[in-house]
Structure 1
């Protein structure tokens, strides 16, 4: 009787060891598969990040900050960030009562004001304007003078048709 109990215990222990071996082996395969999948996703994300980085560099191509030749025009002036200074001066034109004087349209819902500004180089600005419902774009010529005043001249304008 004792020998049968030991035999049963031995068979039970062997089955338990076999079960743990198979379970561990399956778990190892699953973890290896997960690691390989995560490595693939990381590589895809790296490629995506590099693509986005190249797109950002493309978008920054036409900016005053990345145009050393245009920035050279302002070396003699004591301005830390000429692009921001020019944007601030352009936004000051919004402070007048009524429509912005650079926008050649009368606001339909309210007054037309300049919203977004992109300083392209030492001569041109792209700007977006809106009255809340209608919107358009402007190309503005500007001149930053030695006394730090800025003259703005409207070069082109576009008002989008409402939809």
Structure 2
């Protein structure tokens, strides 16, 4: 009788060990599968991040901030951020009552005002204007003088025919 109890206990313990082994093996396979999936996601994210960084570099190619040759024109001026200064000066032209004087169109819904500005280099910038419904783009030549005044000259413009 005593030997049968030990035999049953041994078989029961063996079944528990076998269950634990199979369970741990399945758990290990699931973890490996999860790790492989995460590694694949990380690789995809790294590729996506690299593509995004390249896209940002491409977008920033035509910008005064990243053009050392163009920035050299302003080294003698005491400006920490020439781009911001030029943008502020252009936005000051919005403060006049009525349409912005650089926009060669009369606003249809309200006055045309400049919204967004992209300073390309030490001579040109792009600007977006809108009256709230209609919008367009401007190509502007500018000159930042030694006395920190800025002259703006409209080079070209367009008004989109459909509203937003």
Query: Is 1:18 the counterpart of 2:18 in the alignment?
Result: yes
Aligned residues: 163
Written as runs of structure 1 = structure 2, the 5 A alignment for 1:72-111 is 72-111=72-111
Written as runs of structure 1 = structure 2, the 5 A alignment for 1:130-149 is 130-149=130-149
SS in structure 2 at match of 1:108: coil
Aligned to 2:46: 46
| 1:119 positional shift | 0.3
Aligned to 2:35: 35
**Cα distance in structure 2, aligned partners of 1:82 and 1:32:** 54
Q: What TM-score do you get using the length of structure 1 for normalisation?
A: 0.96
For structure 2, the 5+ residue unaligned runs are none
Deviations for 1:4-55, whole angstroms, at most 9, x for unmatched residues? 2222222111111100100000100110111111111111111111111011
**Cα distance in structure 2, aligned partners of 1:109 and 1:4:** 98
For structure 1, the 5+ residue unaligned runs are none
Aligned to 2:155: 155
Aligned to 2:71: 71
**Cα distance in structure 2, aligned partners of 1:16 and 1:69:** 76
Single out whichever of 69-78 and 4-13 deviates more from structure 2.
Answer: 4-13
RMSD: 1.0
Aligned to 1:126: 126
**Cα distance in structure 1, aligned partners of 2:9 and 2:70:** 87
SS in structure 2 at match of 1:116: strand
